[in-house]
Copies of this chain bind each other. A is one copy, B any other.
């Protein structure tokens, strides 16, 4: 007995602001349902009754076309626009309606309901720290001077193409963390210890390792048929890197099946660091 084919639904992400929260929320919810692949429509900057009325028209049209009510993930805070939106023939999951009221009661203050306020952060110390961290990480990708390592929050170590760069950039953009990289190379393995400049930062070090087959495949795309990309060399480098990290007492994670979000969360927990502000 095969399960019935999933019915077709369109999902709308509707927001006064950028729609990032609505979309993150929505993806997280939808990922809990196997086998559905709904059409997705992002509608940011819905900050007036007229724009909300336009959304309602689009939602109802999609419902007619699909033969099923659309699903609406809304982070609208503007009361007028939210009221208009409720006229749509759809399942409306209203993020602010569900959570803002209990928070107002708990905190004993009223919410600002300011349109787009949650992303008007450009002058906040948190935003400045994120931009600084992006610049730092770009300037210090793959090898850094000792002086600059003093300024870093985290130093990722691992063999070439083990995932250090995307992880560093994610940490910078998401958390404002200044992440430097240090690629482990054959000279480090021959020396059998970390360079002196790195040892004194051991509390900031976090290692990445990777499955040798996966590493060989990634390197093969970069430099086809090179020694660098050969499975024998990849096995040797990873084995040496793990021995070095074990000897130096560096915590590490295998990146093969982990997303940058998972690596980042594990690293922050392990090094006991948190989102930065200036």
Contact = CB atoms under 8 A, between A and B. Distances in A.
Interface of A: 6-7, 9, 17-21, 24-25, 27-29, 31-36, 40, 42, 44-45, 69, 71, 75, 77, 91, 93, 95-96, 98-100, 102-103, 106-109, 111-114, 116-123, 127, 131, 134-135, 138, 141, 165-166, 169-170, 173-174, 256-262, 264-266, 268-269, 274-275
Contacts of A19: 265
Instruction: Give the number of copies in the complex.
Output: 2
B111 A75 contact: no
Contacts of A174: 20
B45 A265 contact: yes
Contacts of A264: 18
15 contacts: A18-B265, A20-B261, A20-B265, A29-B103, A32-B103, A32-B117, A33-B107, A33-B111, A34-B109, A36-B109, A93-B102, A134-B169, A138-B141, A166-B173, A173-B173
B9 A117 contact: no
Given A19-B265, A262-B18, A32 B134 contact: no
